[in-house]
């Protein structure tokens, strides 16, 4: 049985592991980022914004948890705003709270999302951008460039992996036990190779990226990407990996 390295945070890895199991693949979970909420921020008065951007399920969960606990009255204001989500899962998580999102971009990344938003929706308007500590800042940059105002709010932080676990992964790679390394964000990729201490991998190990942003981060590290799914979600990702490993 072939084994796939899963670099997602533990609380997000379970569903992906099950997807891989459906294709007869085993997994070794090595979270290369640990997600933690950031303290010291307050939910702003959302009536002061024209729109909000959520770029991941993490941005939804940490923002909504704080909003519902400290400022539940702001939920109605959020439901009235233009809300954009990068990806189906992020949009589905918002829908649970009665928040309707604008159409999902054809490719689930920040660059494509911004290309699909017209200038009239941006110029002169004020937006809230909910981010993690390692956000690339693509959306705020484009908003400002196109005449909008953007307030950035960091609601969670990404922390590097444990060195003890890194030793286990190195051993598995050296022994040829890993057939594929899967990455679901630029930070999972960067943190993995920093922990590994090298970008040189044994021959035959496949590299899988869930989307173009992650693939670009890997290519900047000098890593060739073998697998990118047609749709940037866990189900499609697992299917693409299984097909590549046949």
Map out the domains of the chain as residue ranges. Answer: 3-33+162-244, 36-158
Q: In a 3-state reduction of DSSP, which class is residue 209? A: strand
Q: Which CATH number fits domain 3-33+162-244: 3.20.20.10, 3.40.50.10090, 2.60.120.10, 3.40.50.11540?
A: 3.40.50.10090
**Predicted local distance difference test score (pLDDT) of residue 98:** 98
**Predicted local distance difference test score (pLDDT) of residue 215:** 95
**Predicted local distance difference test score (pLDDT) of residue 87:** 83
**Predicted local distance difference test score (pLDDT) of residue 108:** 74
- Contact between 151 and 44 (Cβ < 8 Å): yes
Q: How many other CB atoms sit within 10 Å of the CB of residue 130?
A: 22
CATH of domain 36-158: 3.40.50.10090
- Contact between 136 and 216 (Cβ < 8 Å): no
Closest among 72, 18, 23 to 43, alpha carbons compared = 72
**Predicted local distance difference test score (pLDDT) of residue 163:** 65
pLDDT in tens, the chain (246 residues): 899 999 988 878 999 999 999 999 999 999 998 888 999 999 999 999 999 999 888 999 999 999 999 999 999 999 999 999 988 889 999 999 999 999 988 877 888 899 999 999 999 999 999 999 888 889 999 999 999 999 999 999 988 777 678 889 999 999 999 999 999 988 899 989 988 888 999 999 999 999 998 999 999 999 999 999 988 788 999 999 999 999
* Burial (0-12, 13-18, 19+ Cβ within 10 Å), 140: buried
Alpha-carbon distance of 56 to 213, in angstroms, equals: 13
**Predicted local distance difference test score (pLDDT) of residue 233:** 84
- CATH topology identical between 3-33+162-244 and 36-158: yes
**Predicted local distance difference test score (pLDDT) of residue 89:** 86
Beta strands (DSSP E) in the chain are: 3-6, 26-29, 34-37, 51-54, 82-85, 126-132, 149-159, 180-183, 206-209
Alpha-carbon distance of 194 to 161, in angstroms, equals: 10
**Predicted local distance difference test score (pLDDT) of residue 12:** 81
Closest among 210, 218, 177, 193 to 8, alpha carbons compared = 210
Q: In a 3-state reduction of DSSP, which class is residue 237? A: helix
Alpha-carbon distance of 170 to 89, in angstroms, equals: 32
């Amino acid at each position: 049985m072939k084994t796939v390295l899963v670099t997602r945070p533990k609380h997000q890895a379970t569903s992906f592991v099950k997807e891989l199991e459906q294709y007869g693949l085993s997994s070794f979970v090595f979270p290369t980022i640990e997600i933690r909420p950031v303290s010291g921020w307050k939910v702003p008065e959302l009536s002061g914004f024209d729109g909000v951007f959520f770029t991941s399920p993490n941005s939804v969960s940490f923002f909504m948890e704080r909003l519902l606990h400290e400022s539940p009255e702001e939920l109605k204001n959020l439901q009235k705003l233009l809300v954009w989500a990068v990806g189906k899962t992020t949009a589905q998580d918002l829908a649970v709270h009665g928040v309707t999102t604008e159409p999902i971009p054809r490719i689930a990344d920040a660059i494509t999302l911004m290309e699909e938003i017209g200038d009239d929706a941006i110029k002169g308007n004020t937006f809230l951008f909910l981010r993690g500590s390692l956000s690339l800042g693509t959306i705020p940059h484009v908003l400002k460039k196109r005449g909008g105002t953007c307030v950035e709010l960091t609601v969670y932080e990404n922390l590097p992996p444990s060195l003890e676990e890194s030793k286990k992964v190195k051993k598995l790679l050296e022994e040829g036990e890993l057939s594929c390394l899967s990455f679901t964000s630029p930070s999972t990729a960067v943190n993995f190779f920093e922990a590994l201490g090298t970008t040189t991998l044994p021959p035959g190990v496949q590299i899988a990226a869930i989307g173009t942003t992650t693939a670009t981060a890997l290519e900047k590290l000098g890593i060739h990407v073998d697998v990118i799914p047609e749709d940037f979600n866990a189900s499609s990702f697992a299917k693409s990996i299984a097909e590549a490993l046949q």
